Chains A and B, each alone.
Chain A
């Protein structure tokens, strides 16, 4: 006998909302919702069509639904999951199959635009904040000091520009008026 407090046998079909505090081991079929405080083990013979929330989820069987764990999601060999995985730690062993969105690390509420699978959800990279303060000061200080070279330095500090002071060169060379028309005419 396994240690799990609740066992759903392989010849058992449940269509229900299952809630509680203990561990659950599923060998059979479950449809609905599974929310427990303990560990959920989805064994190889199990087929589940339900969202699962638990402290820890270990999968060897088939699941259609989202998995949410407070600690760990572990997909072992034989696991087949169609749904999203969210947990501080997600492990997918060789042989585990997933189709869905995976989010690890500190799991926030709500979906974020698809990130690549199994990446550690780093806080959204802050785009080199172009500190507005120095940029503002730059034009003021410029005329008082030496006219030409002065503005280059503070501006370069404040913004990530290629050439000091000047705006970055346009990526696409600007075409003169009528050039485009001339190009199309040529054809």
Chain B
């Protein structure tokens, strides 16, 4: 069970800091920081720098993404920004514009 869910027709303008999982179905503008997993579902809009643990991105993300674990760009995702993570997967059909920084 995800602990924090930002519903589909909710807009948050500001910062979200969670010591738990976050699922975004709606809109966040500002900053999103989670200790655990971050899931940006299809249809969600995140205009924020995102930090956290394992991430699954299927919606629209504009901002830098930093993960202590892995970042998965799902098919249909639109990501504009730099991604820094231990592991990154980009699915076929994902749109991505930005730098990738992995521990090589």
Contacts and interface: CB of A to CB of B under 8 A. Distances in A.
B101 interface: no
Contacts, number: 88
Given A8-B4, A10-B3, A12-B3, A17 B10 contact: no
B17 to A, nearest CB: 5
Interface residues of A, number: 25
Interface stretch (B19-27, B64-72, B74-82, B84-92): B19-27
A14 B9 contact: no
Interface stretch (A19-27, A54-62, A120-128): A19-27
B12 interface: yes
Contacts of B4: 7-9, 11-12, 28
A16 interface: yes
A166 interface: no
B15 A1 contact: no
A12 B1 contact: no
A183 interface: no
Interface residues of B, number: 26
A32 B17 CA distance: 14
A162 interface: no
Given A7-B5, A20-B9, A22-B10, 10 more contacts: A5-B8, A5-B9, A6-B10, A7-B2, A7-B3, A12-B3, A12-B4, A16-B13, A16-B14, A24-B7
Interface of A: 1, 4-24, 28, 32, 36
